[in-house]
Amino acid sequence: MKSAGPTLYPTHGFSPGHEVIRLQRSPLFVALFTVFVDLIGFGVIIPFLPFYAKVVGGQDGPAILGGLVAVFFLMQFGFSAIFGRLSDRIGRRPVILGSLVLATAGHLVLSIATSSIVLLFAARILAGIGSGNLSVAQAYVADRTRPEERARGMGLIGAAFGVGFAVGPVIGGLLQPFGLAAPALGAAVLAATNFGLASLYLPESLTREAREKNGRESHAKFLDIARRPALRALLIAFVIVSFAFSAVPVAFPSLAIELYGFQPLQLVLIFIYIGVINVIFGNAAGRLARRIGTERLVALGSFAIMIGLLLVPWAQHWSVYVLLTGVVAAGVAIAFPLIPSLVSKRTPPQEQGSVLGVAQSLGSLARVPGPLVAGFLFDRVSPASPFLVGAALMAIGFGATLVVYRERGRSSAAPAGLSVESMVRRD
C-alpha cells in the first residue's frame, strides 16, 4: 500500500522517562540566550570581515572571506552531530555549558587577532565548534514543548537567531572605535555571562532515567538518519536553505560594495536590518504556522528566498537591493527554524538530540561550500552569478518543501482508526 505520509510522534508520554514539560519561561530564556550569544559572536565580526579580507588578501579578498566564513561552518558541521548525540546520553545542560566555554575562548582569541590571519582562523575555528550547540538548544526546546507548541518554540529560536544577528553588528559598530579587539572582548563577556546564567538557571531537560536509557540504546548512524523516508525531503530542503543562508555574508555585502559603494557603517545597518526581519518573522512563526500550517509556511519561505535571490543582482538602485534583501531574510527567518521543527515532530523523543544534530550537521556541511562558492563566483565569474546559482538551487529546495506539504496532506487524510505509522509499516 502507498505510504500515507510521515509518522508524527506525540512526544508527550511517548516512553517512560521522556516527560514533556510545558513551556517554562526561565529555562527556555537561557536556552534562547545561548543561541543569541552564538549569533552575537557571528554578527560582531561578519560586517567587518570583507574589509579584513581585502586588507590581508588584496585582490584575493573575496576568496579569503569565503575561507573565514567556511571554516566556521566546517567546525559547526563536525560538532553539531557530536554534541547532539552526546546530549542524548549525558544531558543537554553539560553540553551547552561546555560549548559556552569554547565560545568564550574563541572570542578571547579573536580579541588578539587584530593583525594575524592565523589567529583569525583559529578564533573562527573555536567559535565554530562552540556554535555546534544549536542542535542541543533545539533538542532542549523539543524536550520542553508539546508537538503543537513546537513551531512556536523553534520560531523563538529563529527570533533569538535574528536578535543576535542584529545586535552583533551593533556591538561591533559601537565598540569598533575603541579598537578591533573591543567587539570581540564584548562578545566574550556576553558568552561568559551566558555561562553563568546557564550554570545557575538552566535545569536539565532529560531525567536521569532517560539519559541512562539513551546511553544503553544503540542510536541510528548518521547516514541511516539522513536516509529516513520521513526526513529525506526535509533534510534536502534544509541543506539548500542553509547553503543559501551561508552565501549572504559574502555575496550580499560584496554586491553592495561593488554596485553601490557601501561603507562599513552601511553594511552594519544592512545586517541589523536582516536581524530585525528575523526577529519579526521568528516571533510570528508560531502564530502563522497555526493559521496556515507549518508545511505550507516552510514552502512559502523557500519560495521567498528563491525569488529574492533571483532578482537582487538586477536591482538598479540601492533601495531595491535593500527591499529584496528583506525578502530573502524573511524567507530564511521562516524556513530556517521551522524545518527543524518538522524534523523534531517526526523524531522519537529518545533521538531528538541525535536527529536534530544530524540535521544541523547537514546544514553546516552545506554552509561550508556556500561562502567559498559565492566568493569564487563573485570574483571569477560575475557579481550576479552567486545569486543566480542560489536561486536555481532554491528552486530544488522549494520543490522538496512541496513534497513535504503533499506528504502531510496524505497524513491528514488517513482513514479514521488507522494510524499513519501502521499504514507506513504496511507499505
**How many CA atoms lie within 13 Å of 174's alpha carbon, on the beta-carbon side?**
11
Rounded to an integer, the average pLDDT of 360-375 is 78
| Residue 113: all three cell numbers together | 587577532
The torsion defined by the Cα of 338, 201, 131 and 187, in degrees rounded to 10, comes to: 120
Residue whose cell numbers read 529574492:
308
Residue 268 has pLDDT above 90, yes or no: no
Residue 89 has pLDDT above 60, yes or no: yes
Q: What's the CATH superfamily of 25-413?
A: MFS general substrate transporter like domains (1.20.1250.20)
pLDDT band at 16 (very low <50, low <70, confident <90, very high): very low
Tell me the C-alpha to C-alpha distance, in Å, between residue 352 and each of 135, 205, 314: 9, 12, 42
Confidence (pLDDT) at 411: 52
pLDDT band at 419 (very low <50, low <70, confident <90, very high): very low
329-362 pLDDT, tens digit per residue, is 888 888 877 888 888 777 777 677 777 777 877 8
Confidence (pLDDT) at 190: 83
Q: Are 391 and 247 in contact (CB under 8 A)?
A: no
What is the Cα Rg of the chain in Å? Answer: 21
Rounded to an integer, the average pLDDT of 72-93 is 83
Phi–psi pair at 159, nearest 5 degrees: -65, -45
Confidence (pLDDT) at 20: 41
Q: In angstroms, how far apart are the furthest CA atoms of the chain?
A: 67
Please report, for the chain, the start and end positions of each structural domain, with discontinuous segments joined by +: 25-413
Please name which of 41, 61, 40 lies closest in space to residue 50, comparing C-alpha atoms. Answer: 61
Confidence (pLDDT) at 58: 58
Average pLDDT, the chain: 76
The reply to whether the predicted model has a pTM over 0.85 is no
Share of the chain above pLDDT 70, in %: 77
